[in-house]
Structure 1
Amino acid sequence: VAATLLGHTQQIGYGPLVHSLCGVNLKKSDSFTDWSRRPLSDSQLEYAADDVVYLPKMYRIMRERLEAKGRLSWLDNDFAAMADPANYVSDASERFRRLKRVGQLNRRQLSAAREVACWRELTAQDRNVPRKWVLTDEQVVEACRRESRTIDELFMVRGVREKLCTRDARAVAAALVRGLDAPVEKWPELDKCLKSEPNVDAELDLMEAIVRLRAKENDIAMQTLASHGDLAKVARGYREGVDVLRGWRRAIVGEELLDLLAGRITLSLGPAGLVVTKMGS
């Protein structure tokens, strides 16, 4: 997070960051080593040590640069959120709301999606694997859209037969039936967007243009300044619980985004690129 406030990209790896700050090229010879085997070789031990030996120097350099830019305090809220265990506790029964293309489903199918997504969440946690290794979002949504009730019907969804063993297939089929047969009053609803999707798409394009401009001007990674998810929420009319509308992010670009959506600023292209103009100025 700190690196992105110093002009580094959002996805910079540890090796490139060490090279940028310390001028050292880390060895890659043991990147794919089997760390469970013992004894570890001298090469493995050296590789492991490199993961930590440069951290004190990197900390000092980054802290000094952040202080010089007046940005050290910007990290307080982000670090506090990252250190709060509550932010890592998820309600498995609500995970269906984050499925890709879940908006294609009707309420009955959403009930099935809630059950299947909950099973997938708990199974992935139990096995300590990514959710998509159990079932992909697309497979969950398609099985619910088809209202599959049996293993044979479930296996009609592309790739599911290869993903699920018989025991898991039975569990998913049971979850589908449980959701599809739930009483109407138990069927969930998705949060309603406050604006139509065509308007959201158009506004997102303009918002991202402004964020890109301000990120470049301030030497900050664009995703750190404003994530696509946050921009989508703002475009849909949400104002609470959105990072880009809080603290330093709001000061740099958040307020300007609200002005854009309210029609108080215009965008145009000049010789040097994008120009943001306040209405009446």
Structure 2
Amino acid sequence: MNYRRKKRSQEHDAADHNHGGASPREPFDHPLVSKAVAEVITTPEALAVLIADIRSHPVVAYDTEFIGEESFYPKLCLVQVATPTALALVDPLPFEAAGHDLGEFFRSIAEPGRTILVHSGDTDIDILRRGAGIEPSDVFDTQVAAALAWMPWPSSLGTVLETLTGYRLGKAHTFTNWDARPLTPAQLGYAADDVRYMHLIWHMLSERLAALGRSDWAASESREQLRSTAFDPEGQLRRLHRTEPLRAGQMAVARALVTLRYDLARKHDMPARVVLPDTAVIELAKRKPTDRSAIGNISGIPRRIASAHAEDIVTAIAGCKAVAIDHDPGNPLADDMRVRAESDQLWNALQVRCASTGLASNLVATRATFSRWYFSVVEARRRGQALGCSEGEAPLFTGGDWRIEAVGCWLEGFLNGTERLELVWSPSGTVAPGFSRAHGV
């Protein structure tokens, strides 16, 4: 039993002990919240009725429970859906055992003309994408919407619900043995709550976003957050480089190895991080072993992989050339204390601006991205050039990004002295809007 499975079992047993098999508390009283006990769908006949119900509504709330640490693709254990007239939990295991395909069910959710409500739905949408064989066209992520409407990023579903209504959900069963059968009443109840409140949350957040003029921002960011999580070797290389800087030749080896581990992970139905952990990739990139006997001496490589694929690893390393890889080499301005202080101060100003306008600053930009952009601004100014927040080799935002409208124009004005930021601390303990034109100040 691996560590994560052991941890799941411990939390599973603890949840059963603490709750005694009891269902969660009485649902929040609201017309958009179903008080029904969720129907567990295990037969084709019941599934056909649910599919017809989904197709009769323009909006469906959708969530999944899965185990993702033991296979290349997450093991699907439960699918939760809620429409205005149905609250259902589809158990995929009996369908799988009977050889019944769930494609039509997934297509009923994903087909054009239907809005899909999710919360932090990247993996859920990947599962839907594979199951339906089509790309969902309209997804509303309530976690994204909340971050644009005066809530932190990322906020749990329970936090969003409590912020909007004052109702507090019980403790979640997220990390539990979802593939165990039978599922306990507590597991079923908590799974149902993941979609039970989504229509209410969607309605309330939609009203907030419309009043703030941010509906389009939420739609755009939901699409961006839920894009297909295709294999991204350059992104993995940047993560490796942040962990331990590598030279160009080492980065070339690392690129070959992350590509190989992706292929091996898919072949053996294993998570990529189990096939070759990042630490093993870095060690291989530095030592560049030339014979298979040396592979077994690299820490972190599973015996199964070292035994079966040592030759593949050696071949991948041998085929590399010292070529430049798209990674962040750092910037000499990062060592300039004055420029670093300016970057820190401007970052703080941006965070306050976001807080005063109800935007989660860590959804708007990361500290690292902001620093790279500001260093490029300083370099441009030293050359006598002006650089906008979507320009240069290290842009803060890409063209067309909602962030330009949200903070980018203000940030450029702030840098140029045409905007200023006034801090007003409200009685509720938050920064209130107090920014204004600088009027030549």
TM-score by length of 2: 0.50
Segments of structure 1 that go 5 or more residues without pairing to the other structure are: none
Q: Tell me the secondary structure at the aligned position of residue 240 of structure 2.
A: coil
Q: Tell me the secondary structure at the aligned position of residue 254 of structure 1.
A: helix
Task: Determine which of 201, 213, 223 is the counterpart of 2:362.
Answer: 223
| 2:315 is the counterpart of 1:178 | no
* Amino acid in the other structure paired with 2:290: R
Tell me what 2:409 maps to: 255
Tell me what 1:133 maps to: 274
Range moving further from structure 2, 119-128 or 18-27: 119-128
TM-score by length of 1: 0.74
Tell me what 2:240 maps to: 100
Range moving further from structure 2, 30-39 or 232-241: 232-241
Tell me what 1:81 maps to: 224
Tell me what 2:73 maps to: none
Segments of structure 2 that go 5 or more residues without pairing to the other structure are: 1-143, 377-389, 426-430
* Amino acid in the other structure paired with 2:205: M
* Amino acid in the other structure paired with 2:163: S
Q: Closer, same or farther in 2 for the Cα pair 1:130/1:174, shift >3 Å?
A: same
* Amino acid in the other structure paired with 2:162: H
Counterpart-to-counterpart distance in 2, 1:172 and 1:63 = 51
Task: Determine which of 153, 163, 175 is the counterpart of 1:10.
Answer: 153
Counterpart-to-counterpart distance in 2, 1:257 and 1:139 = 42
* Amino acid in the other structure paired with 1:74: W
Counterpart-to-counterpart distance in 1, 2:169 and 2:423 = 43
Tell me what 1:239 maps to: 391
Counterpart-to-counterpart distance in 2, 1:21 and 1:269 = 28
1:203-224 Cα offsets, whole Å, 9 max, x none, are: 5423321221111111221111
For the 8 Å contact 1:230–1:243, the answer to whether it is kept is no
1:19-70 Cα offsets, whole Å, 9 max, x none, are: 2223333333744442223333333322221111111111111111222222
| 2:188 is the counterpart of 1:188 | no
Aligned residue runs from structure 1 range 35-46, under 5 A: 35-46=178-189
For the 8 Å contact 1:268–1:276, the answer to whether it is kept is yes
Q: Closer, same or farther in 2 for the Cα pair 1:101/1:40, shift >3 Å?
A: closer
For the 8 Å contact 2:150–2:358, the answer to whether it is kept is yes
1:125 Cα deviation (Å)? 4.8
Structure with higher helix content: 1
For the 8 Å contact 1:245–1:255, the answer to whether it is kept is no
1:4 Cα deviation (Å)? 0.7
Tell me what 1:143 maps to: 284
Greater Cα radius of gyration, structure 1 or 2: 2
Counterpart-to-counterpart distance in 2, 1:90 and 1:116 = 13
Q: Tell me the secondary structure at the aligned position of residue 188 of structure 1.
A: coil
Structure with higher strand content: 2
Tell me what 2:253 maps to: 112
Q: Closer, same or farther in 2 for the Cα pair 1:154/1:198, shift >3 Å?
A: farther
Counterpart-to-counterpart distance in 2, 1:147 and 1:18 = 52
Range moving further from structure 2, 146-155 or 115-124: 146-155
Task: Determine which of 192, 203, 207 is the counterpart of 1:60.
Answer: 203
Identity of paired residues, percent?
A: 23
For the 8 Å contact 2:276–2:300, the answer to whether it is kept is no
Q: Tell me the secondary structure at the aligned position of residue 8 of structure 1.
A: coil
For the 8 Å contact 1:214–1:252, the answer to whether it is kept is no
For the 8 Å contact 1:244–1:254, the answer to whether it is kept is no
Range moving further from structure 2, 18-27 or 57-66: 18-27
Range moving further from structure 2, 9-18 or 163-172: 163-172
Q: Closer, same or farther in 2 for the Cα pair 1:34/1:118, shift >3 Å?
A: same
Counterpart-to-counterpart distance in 2, 1:259 and 1:153 = 58
For the 8 Å contact 1:22–1:58, the answer to whether it is kept is no
Counterpart-to-counterpart distance in 2, 1:214 and 1:167 = 55
Bigger RCO of structures 1 and 2 (CA < 8 A, at least 6 apart): 1
Counterpart-to-counterpart distance in 1, 2:222 and 2:422 = 37
Q: Tell me the secondary structure at the aligned position of residue 285 of structure 2.
A: helix
How many residues were matched structurally? 272
Range moving further from structure 2, 26-35 or 208-217: 26-35
1:171 Cα deviation (Å)? 3.4
For the 8 Å contact 2:148–2:360, the answer to whether it is kept is yes
